[in-house]
């Protein structure tokens, strides 16, 4: 009897997993057909429709790419940290 319950529970789990997969695939197709880009969500799940795009820059010493707002600027060059300002630019 317990073996039958095990197989029944397994069958129910498989059915739910397949239905979730089908639903996800259908939503993906709907989004692609209607041309709507996938909504960007933040940590709270809210859609950030007007999320600003941040420009990137690279460090003059180590060539690391990082957001331009975090740059340390000296002599018209961008650096990733104050320590690299003191080191020679490449």
Taking the complex as a whole, how short is the minimal distance between the CB of residue 52 and Zn ion, in angstroms?
Answer: 24
| Nearer CB in complex with Zn ion: 37/82 | 82
* Residue whose token pair is 């979730």: 20
Taking the complex as a whole, how short is the minimal distance between the CB of residue 58 and Zn ion, in angstroms?
Answer: 8
> By the criterion CB under 5 A, which residues form the site for Zn ion?
59, 61-62, 80, 84
| Nearer CB in complex with Zn ion: 57/80 | 80
Taking the complex as a whole, how short is the minimal distance between the CB of residue 84 and Zn ion, in angstroms?
Answer: 4
| 8 Å CB contact between 68 and 56 | yes
Exposure string of 13-49, with b = 16+ CB inside 10 Å and e = fewer, is eeeeeeeeeeeeeeeeeeeeeeeeeeeeeeeeeeeee
| Nearer CB in complex with Zn ion: 57/84 | 84
Closest residue to Zn ion: CB criterion: 59
DSSP 75: T
| Nearer CB in complex with Zn ion: 26/73 | 73
Contacts of 76 (CB under 8 A, 6+ apart): none
């Amino acid at each position: 009897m317990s073996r039958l319950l095990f197989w029944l529970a397994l069958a129910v789990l498989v059915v739910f997993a397949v239905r979730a997969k089908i639903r996800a695939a259908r939503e993906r197709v709907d989004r692609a057909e209607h041309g709507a880009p996938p909504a960007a969500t933040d940590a709270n799940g809210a859609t950030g429709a007007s999320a600003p795009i941040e420009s990137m820059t690279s460090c003059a010493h180590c060539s690391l790419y990082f957001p331009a707002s975090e740059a340390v600027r000296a002599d018209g060059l961008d650096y990733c940290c104050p320590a690299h300002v003191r080191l020679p630019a490449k």
